[in-house]
Amino acid sequence: MRFSFGKALLPIYTVLALIFLLIPIGYTFAFSFNASDKSNIVWRGFTFNNWTTVCQAQGVCDSFVNSIFIGVVATALATAIGTAMAIALVRYRFRFRGPVSLLLFLPMATPEVVMGAGLASQFLTAGVEKGMTTIIIAHTLFCLSFVVVTVKARVASLDPALEEAGRDLYGSPAQVFWRITFPLLLPGILAAAMLSFALSFDDFIITYFNSGSIYTFPKFVYISAARGIPAQANVIASAVFILALTIVIVSQVFASRKAKKLAAPIS
Amino acid sequence: MAFAAFANTAQAVDAAPRKSSKIALVLLAPGLAYLALFFLTPLVALILTSLQAPALYGDMGEYVYAFRWENYVAVVNEYGETFLRSFGYALIATMAALLISYPIAYFIGVRARKWPAIQAIALILVIAPFFISFLLRTLAWKQIFSDDSWTMETLKALSILGPDAHFTGTPFAVIFGLTYNFIPFMTLPIYTTLERLDTRYLEASGDLYARPSTTFFKVTLPLSMPGIVSGTLLTFIPASGDYINASGDFLGGPSTQMVGNAIQSNFLVILQYPAAAALSIMLMAVILVIVAIYVKRSGTEDLI
């Protein structure tokens, strides 16, 4: 007999827990349709106006565009640097492997507020003015370790015989990399890039210490929280949510179709 | 999902690492340089800042390098209680998130195996909160449970809560917010280990007349330890440094300040950089010690 929490209890619990997780999302989405004035706290009736006038609320779209820009640049940097490190860590033996792994683990074990304050002290000491560049530097930093961990798992599952076959057939190192290694690593690299972008886009704590006068979307929400957040911020958040959910669902469906296709000839 | 990466994925075939350390160095160089410049140097900067003394006749926020160890004593005296509160909140939130998340992960990873579609949908719903700003989610709770909300009025009308009960500004609200925010971080790593759990072990345990609870505590739980360790670290570390939930504009109040709030206000508001730096160094040191002991005791060193 297999252990079970009681046949029906566990599914019911899971459904309730998932509803609990989704309540604030539903709330944010619902209040993007609120006919509110200044503060978006009390329900004043249904309207589409916030969706059609998204950019008319001051600061909402500017901060959103900044967040997208920072997310794209930081993701590109972290993914490129991190993928190289992941390949080196799995595929090559070298001295100081332990210290290098530790150095990559440490940023993940460091609370954001410490990393934020550390970078800010460094910029302060060095006399660097905080702005877009310092935000990108900070975001690349905290994304890097997560990229390495994600891509490393993919490199480890890659059969080195495939690359050896490429070399045996007189492929140059560049050819072997771009025609064999890279395409096989691509799913891992894409997953790492998506994770990086999500981390960067939603980051507030490190950003706040290193942003100077630049506003990202989370910073805009934080600053506005004291005096009331415009409903347009809910519109942006809801739109991003729908887009991200669609991407995940589509990629899941594709992945499961591909898995079925690959499984078909065997059975 | 990308978060599968946390639950130490079993190292596949040893990829016959080659010795060519020159190529390895080229591949590692940019990353190592980046980490040295923007992770290690800032930590050194933080240590130096934490020992600074106020500049003589200087303006607010002007400091000179010194070795003022008293900064740490002053910070412990002023924020000792805040420190304890932070770790207390983080610990309770981590335990709560673990208790809430484990059954979810067990259902998705073990019980729902027969229905891949349900598994996929449930997983997407678990990570759905990542797709919407966590500041807005936290604010949503604040507004759902604000003093004059119908939620609170209903709870009071049903006498579940006393007539002058508050949510916002209480330790309960802060811990509630922390717990809520980190449930996905707890669920995913546990799910990834449970998903690989060989259910034949559970059958074997049953065949040997173990009661379901014995099977759970002697087989299932130990086998899911790597996921639990990843999940608790992914929750405890950020939770102990968090200052959003405890912030007065969100779920907290003056009596619920955490060390993150103290660092933030010292650094960004009252410009007492040495105090903020000393707090940061202490926070990091305590966390590293806790993590090291925890990882060692739970026997999952290969996680790193």
Radius of gyration of chain B from its Cα atoms, rounded to whole angstroms: 23
Note whether B221 contacts A: Cβ–Cβ < 8 A: no
Q: B280 and A113: CB-CB below 8 Å? A: yes
User: Within the 42-71 window of chain A, which residues sit less than 8 Å (CB to CB) from chain B?
Assistant: none
Residue pair B193/B7 in contact by the 8 Å Cβ criterion: yes
CA distance readout (Å), A167 to A170, A175, B17, B42: 5, 9, 16, 43
Residue owning tokens 């966390």: B287
State the best of B39, B208, B214 to mutate against chain A, taking most chain A CBs within 10 Å: B39
Contacts of B69 (CB under 8 A, 6+ apart): B51
Note whether B64 contacts A: Cβ–Cβ < 8 A: no
Q: B104 and A256: CB-CB below 8 Å? A: no
Burial of A263 (0-12, 13-18, 19+ CB in 10 A): exposed
Residue pair B271/B279 in contact by the 8 Å Cβ criterion: no
Q: Which of A11, A90, A112 sits opposite B15 (nearest CB)?
A: A90
Q: How many CA atoms lie within 13 A of A13 on its CB side?
A: 17
Q: How many CB pairs under 8 A join A and B?
A: 305
- How far apart CA B229 and CA B251 sit, in angstroms, is 28
Q: B2 and A150: CB-CB below 8 Å? A: yes
Note whether B124 contacts A: Cβ–Cβ < 8 A: yes
Residue owning tokens 């370790």: A145
- How far apart CA B183 and CA A202 sit, in angstroms, is 17
Note whether A222 contacts B: Cβ–Cβ < 8 A: yes
Question: What ipTM was estimated for this complex?
Answer: 0.84
Helices and strands, counts by H and E, chain A: 12, 0
- The pTM of this model reads 0.85
State the best of B28, B168, B182, B244 to mutate against chain A, taking most chain A CBs within 10 Å: B28
Note whether B240 contacts A: Cβ–Cβ < 8 A: yes
Contacts of B85 (CB under 8 A, 6+ apart): B171, B256, B257, B258
Residue owning tokens 């209480």: B170
Neighbours of B294 (CB within 10 A): 14
Q: B107 and A122: CB-CB below 8 Å? A: no
**Biggest CA pair distance of chain A:** 71
Note the Cα B63 to chain centre separation in Å. 33
Note the CATH number of domain B74-303.
1.10.3720.10
Helix segments in chain B, DSSP class H: 21-35, 41-50, 70-109, 116-127, 134-144, 150-157, 171-195, 199-207, 212-215, 221-223, 225-241, 259-264, 273-297
Note whether B99 contacts A: Cβ–Cβ < 8 A: no
Give the pLDDT of residue B9. 41
Q: pLDDT digit string (tens) for A177-236?
A: 888 888 888 888 988 998 899 889 989 999 999 998 889 999 998 988 887 788 888 888
Q: For residue A41, what is the nearest residue in chain B, using CA coordinates?
A: B143
CA distance readout (Å), B216 to A7, A83, A254, B3, B147: 15, 39, 36, 25, 42
Q: For residue B19, what is the nearest residue in chain A, using CA coordinates?
A: A93
Q: A153 and B4: CB-CB below 8 Å? A: yes
Q: pLDDT digit string (tens) for A37-49?
A: 767 777 777 777 7
- How far apart CA A188 and CA B203 sit, in angstroms, is 34
Q: Map out the domains of chain B as residue ranges.
A: 74-303
Q: A113 and B146: CB-CB below 8 Å? A: no
Closest approach of A90 to chain B, Cα-based (Å): 7
Note the CATH number of domain A10-239.
1.10.3720.10
Is the C-alpha dihedral spanning B280, B282, B288, B294 positive or negative?
A: negative
Q: Which of A81, A153, A191 sits opposite B34 (nearest CB)?
A: A81
Q: B35 and A28: CB-CB below 8 Å? A: no
| pLDDT by residue, tens only, chain B of 304 residues | 334 334 444 444 444 455 567 888 888 889 999 999 999 999 998 998 888 877 777 676 677 777 777 888 888 888 888 999 999 999 999 999 999 999 999 999 888 888 888 888 898 899 888 888 889 999 999 888 887 777 777 887 777 777 777 788 888 999 999 999 999 999 999 998 888 888 888 888 888 888 888 888 888 888 888 889 889 998 999 999 998 898 888 888 888 899 999 999 888 888 888 889 999 999 999 999 988 888 887 766 555 4
Give the pLDDT of residue B112. 86
Each residue of A129-146: b (16+ CB within 10 Å) or e? ebeeebbbbbbbbbbbbb
Note whether A1 contacts B: Cβ–Cβ < 8 A: yes
